Amino acid sequence: MKKIYTFLIPALVPFMAHGANVSAPRDFKGLVALITSVMGNLVLLIFALTFLAFLWGVVKGWIINGGDTEGVESGKNVVMTSIIALVVMSSIWGILHLLQMSFFN
């Protein structure tokens, strides 16, 4: 578990640094911009983690467990779930961008 934190904390530093420059919103438009910015960063983080899960499913399913039918089936499930999650996250990101540009630009 310590190895995961060792990798995850440096990966989150750009998100933390981006949020450090944000001041308190003074009006509704600023509040909505802050919320959409945070949600956009979360979507990016989840998108990156989902892509890593996709790559892990490919490596585990077809490279590590190439001859094992149960391992290949497990890899297929991880890849399919990752693809669905990537499509959903792309849709959410697009909807957030569309709302931000249409109402608050």
The tens-digit pLDDT sequence of the chain (105 residues) is 455 555 555 665 555 555 555 677 788 888 877 887 787 788 788 888 888 988 988 888 888 887 788 888 888 888 898 899 889 888 888 887 888 788 766
- Cα separation, 62 vs 69, whole angstroms: 10
- Enter the pTM of the model: 0.62
Q: Where are the domains of the chain?
A: 28-103
81 within 8 A of 52, measured Cβ to Cβ:
no
- Cα separation, 68 vs 2, whole angstroms: 30
